[in-house]
Each structure stands twice: as structure tokens, then as C-alpha cells.
Structure 1
Amino acid sequence: MPKIADAPKRPANLSLNSKVLDMAKELGMNVSATVDALLAVEVEKRYWERWNEDNRQAIVDYNARIEREGLTLARYRTFARED
């Protein structure tokens, strides 16, 4: 995933629950920073959900090949495999 945390900020219009917004301000919260952090978490979650769905068949095929043929370098392992 591209690094998004260091991107420059830009203004956005949001509609937020007025009571929640008032309470956040009373608590001294930085609403912009809070929304930015929470949105970044949600974006990353959805990015990986989409990536997994887009690559689902390739992952299934890869796992089937490994199950069928084993790992290419498995013979060089210096540790015991636990099943």
C-alpha cells in the first residue's frame, strides 16, 4: 500500500453529528487530526480487503501449487517444521 500518512493536508467539508462535535471540542480534541487518523485506518483496512479480493484466485492457485509441489527451497531448511 502506498504510504499515505505523510501526504500533505487539504481542506474538506464534512457533516458531523453536532452533539458529538460539541463534546469533542469540550474535551479539547483535535477533530481534524482524529478524523484523519480514523479515516486512514479505515482506508488501509478497505485497501487490503480489496487487494485480497482482487488477488484471491492467485492466492488460491499459489497455495494449491505449494501444497502439490512443496516449497522450492524446503530442502535447505535447518529447522524442523511443525504441522
Structure 2
Amino acid sequence: MARVATSSHRKATNLSLDISLLEQARALDINISRACERGLAEQIAETRAARWRAENAEALASSNEYIERNGLPLSGFRQF
């Protein structure tokens, strides 16, 4: 799960939310600001991970090709 900042540095903002979700959240006494922060933090983490994978795709492919051709380095020392 993504980390939500616990800092007191907060900024008021305007959001457009689905009315049904907003009503359900209020009925369940969900802190809407905190829920939005948690969702935003998760989206940030997912986007960063996707960008990292895209930026490193060539290196990962190269590494995988090496292992397919040569096997895992030091595999003779692995204990199962």
C-alpha cells in the first residue's frame, strides 16, 4: 500500500467526485480528504513504478537475455 503523508502541510483544493461515491463515503463516516490522499498516493506509486519499468525496459531485457543464454551467475553455489 502506498504511503500517505502525515505532515500537517495541507492545502485546500477543489475536487469533482462521483455523487454516489461521495454519498456512500459520508454515510460511512469516511474522511474524504484522507481517502482521496490515499488514492492519490497509490496512483503516484503505480505511475512511478510504470515509468521506472519503461525507462529500464532495455536493461531488464538485456539482463533477461543474458540469463537465458548463460544461466544465473553463481547458480552452482545455490542451495535448495
Q: Same fold by TM (over 0.5)?
A: yes
2:25 and 2:32 in contact (8 A); partners too: yes
Deviation (angstroms), 1:4: 5.0
Residue 43 of structure 2: aligned partner: 42
Deviation (angstroms), 1:36: 0.6
How many corresponding residue pairs? 77
Following TM superposition, the consecutive aligned residue runs of length 4 or more in structure 1 with deviations greater than 3 angstroms are 3-7, 20-23
Deviation (angstroms), 1:29: 1.5
- With normalisation by structure 2, the TM-score equals 0.76
Residue 77 of structure 1: aligned partner: 78
Structure 1 regions of 5+ residues with no counterpart? none
Cα distance in 1 for residues equivalent to 2:18 and 2:4: 27
Cα distance in 2 for residues equivalent to 1:28 and 1:7: 20
Deviation (angstroms), 1:45: 0.9
Deviation (angstroms), 1:17: 3.1
- With normalisation by structure 1, the TM-score equals 0.73
Structure 2 regions of 5+ residues with no counterpart? none
1:54 matched to 2:55? The reply is yes
- In terms of mean alpha carbon deviation, does 46-55 or 7-16 score higher? 7-16
RMSD (CA atoms)? 2.2
Task: Answer 1 or 2: higher relative contact order, Cα 8 Å, separation at least 6.
Answer: 2
1:17 matched to 2:20? The reply is no
Deviation (angstroms), 1:7: 5.6
Counterpart residue identity of residue 34, structure 1? A
